[in-house]
Amino acid sequence: MKKIHTLQAARGLAALMVLGFHAYGFDQKFLSHSVLPDLFTFGQTGLDLFFVVSGFVMAMTTANRKGLTESTRFLLHRGYRVYPTYWIYFFTLVTVQLLLPSMINKSGRQIDMWASFILLPSEALPLLVVAWSLTLEIWFYLVFAVLILVPKKTVPWVLAAWLVGVLLFRAFGEVPADVYQRVVVHPFSVEFIFGALAGCLWLSPVGAGVSSTQATGLSVSGLALVILACMLGAVDGSDVISTASVERVVLIGAGYSLLLLGMAAAERAGLRVWKPLVALGDCSYTLYLSHMVVMAV
């Protein structure tokens, strides 16, 4: 399948946004005065964008796969893309933790090394803190490995049912005590599903027929939803490791999904994506994993 440069550029932009948000946090923590403007708190939505892009990509990469063999191959491929690079940083931090523990864990927080190594859900944050989001990614990969086994025509309906289920639980259910159950119903699932549905639409005859004018409309609508989320205070820079508001994941998730869909359609119609941003997207995973370590040093 032809590579969509828009998605790769979105990855690069998302990595820069998260880096900016964390730089804002370091600014507040280590300097006596603020250097970066409060606008940098919006960079936190780079994480939302990562989840939306991931869902979009998963819908595309599994579109022509079916059967147990392809499902297994898919999981192996995703594992190969996630774990080797992650383990480089993990074992680097393990070494520093053994030699100079005060540099890694000044607050004395508990760390589950085994869960950090495998990226399993845990009550404790992983050794590499940003890797908590990878735990959700692993869950999403497992879901799509199962979706490869179902008829392709039913995939959008299964995704829609999953979306409704998560939203109903977040609206009426209580947060589970079990960490595995919390991953299953985590609100960021909503953004991943929105991205996956956008990917399904992109692959459909309807998506293939989107005109330049319609692409612009989709992009503008997506930006409007993101702006609305900001105006409603859904993006406030609060800790989202444990949870996120329903308003945030619905508005931001839908907004970024429409924006990506519109930009991808515009690219199909001839829009050229800025190459440096695409190149940044190619190294976005490494940038995401390493930026807090580099800033801490």
Q: What is the pLDDT of residue 1?
A: 59
Q: pLDDT tens digits for 227-239? A: 999 999 998 766 7
Q: How far apart are CA 242 and CA 154, in angstroms?
A: 31
Token pair belonging to 203:
């692959």
177 or 109, greater pLDDT: 177
- Rounded mean pLDDT of 114-127? 93
The long-range contacts involving 73-76, CB below 8 angstroms and separated by at least 24 positions, are 74/141, 74/144, 74/145, 74/148, 75/141, 75/142, 75/145
Q: What is the pLDDT of residue 111?
A: 85
Token pair belonging to 15:
């990595």
pLDDT confidence tier of residue 106, bands split at 50, 70 and 90: low
Q: Show the CA angle centred on residue 234, arms to residues 293 and 52, nearest 5°.
A: 60
Q: How far apart are CA 178 and CA 207, in angstroms?
A: 39
Q: What is the pLDDT of residue 77?
A: 96
Give percent of the chain above pLDDT 70. Answer: 95
CB 256 within 8 A of CB 224: no
Q: pLDDT tens digits for 122-150? A: 988 899 999 999 999 999 999 999 999 99
DSSP per position, 244-258: --HHHHHHHHHHHHH
- pTM of the entire predicted model: 0.95
CB 78 within 8 A of CB 142: no
- Rounded mean pLDDT of 82-88? 97
Burial of 43: CB neighbours in 10 Å, binned 0-12, 13-18, 19+: buried
pLDDT confidence tier of residue 107, bands split at 50, 70 and 90: low
Q: Count of CB atoms within 10 A of residue 190's CB?
A: 26
- Rounded mean pLDDT of 250-277? 94
